[in-house]
Amino acid sequence: MARTIVISDDVYELLKRSKLPNESFSSVIRRNLRKGKLSEIAGSHTLSTSDWKKAKRLLQESETRTVEKMTERL
């Protein structure tokens, strides 16, 4: 279910800066709330876009290898 919330312009900008490529605002909020207070990490830019893409690629490759190993064992 979707809900509409009202946030101030400065909070919107913080969320927008925290957003990863193709990530929804709901996912940004969920991801950040799991780490701790949103206000402590919003806009921190922990990873650059290129680092994010590299990490995503490495995780996908790892997942592919895991699936291949599991398939071999069946």
Domain assignment of residue 2, yes or no: no
Instruction: List b or e across 18-48, with b for residues whose CB sees 16 or more CB atoms inside 10 angstroms.
Output: beeeeeeeeebbeebeeeeebeebbeeeeee
Residues 59 and 72 in one domain: yes
pTM tops 0.75, yes or no: no
How does residue 70 score in pLDDT terms, banded at 50, 70 and 90?
confident
Q: What is the pLDDT of residue 38?
A: 47
Question: 67: domain range?
Answer: 46-74
| pLDDT at residue 59 is higher than 70 | yes
pLDDT in tens, 10-55: 889 888 888 888 999 999 888 877 765 545 545 566 667 787 788 8
Domain assignment of residue 1, yes or no: no
| pLDDT at residue 74 is higher than 70 | yes
